[in-house]
Amino acid sequence: MLTKPQNGGALMHYDPLNPDHGMQYDPFKALVVPRPIGWISTLSIDGKPNLAPFSFFNALSDKPPILAASLSNGNDTLNNILATEECTVCVANVEQMDAMNMSSAAVDTSVNEFTLAELGTEASSYVNPPRVSKCPAAFECKLWKSVPLPVSEKGRGYTTVILSVVGIYIDDQFIKDGRVDTASMQPLARLGYMDYAVVNEQNMMTLNRPVVGEDRKSATLEGGAWDGVYR
């Protein structure tokens, strides 16, 4: 519904549990952006490979490194992680965009998405599922905890898997001066609807964190590019 804010113009608001937004599609996912894509590889309990991208995905902490993904109930990836308690998570970049998209196809459980998307595999060191070959970076993960989320009135539900990272791969070509060169990796991000974005030099910037005064009651900002100091 639309209301008139005090400063003029129009402001839309709606109850997401009882949506009456009047739009073609639910706008929720178009507002929480950009979302990194977790390209998750798993094996079934009998060893069948599975690969699929997920955008309800992000990092939860760095010490220790923890990732999380919310997967729809009944999904092959979720079933495999719950059964085997391990997976790999690859970073999809712009060069692998079509392959990433193809691996999202809702094909039968018997189909190997690596083959479907014409992707090679690389063996993992600490888990059984392979990673996508030639991806800029990948994480080997063990399941720490699974958390069922509330089920919607339409019966669709998700389960969040919280993943402990036990191994990390980074393609050497994306390491420069002791740092990951994210711009040259060109990772993909998910927006709303069928929209995607890519991180590159044209849309990246750096900022210096505020410098806090000695009394810890004030702070100043230093302009220019990041000076390399964490504050």
pLDDT of residue 140: 98
Q: Report CA torsion sign: 140, 146, 63, 221.
A: positive
pTM: 0.90
What does the domain layout of the chain look like in residue ranges?
Answer: 33-201
pLDDT of residue 5: 58
Structural contact between residues 49 and 69, judged by C-beta atoms closer than 8 angstroms: no
Is 2.30.110.10 the CATH number for 33-201?
A: yes
- The C-alpha atoms of residue 197 and residue 34 are separated, in whole angstroms, by 8
Q: Report CA torsion sign: 36, 21, 17, 8.
A: positive
Residue type, 18: N
pLDDT of residue 52: 98
pLDDT of residue 12: 74
- The C-alpha atoms of residue 32 and residue 54 are separated, in whole angstroms, by 14
Q: End-to-end CA distance of the chain, in Å?
A: 44
pLDDT of residue 9: 63
Block mean pLDDT (10 aa), the chain, length 231: 59 73 80 94 97 98 98 96 98 97 95 97 97 97 97 84 98 96 97 95 92 93 87 81
pLDDT of residue 17: 73
Inter-CA distances, 1 with 5, 85, 154, Å: 13, 44, 22
* 83 three-class SS: helix
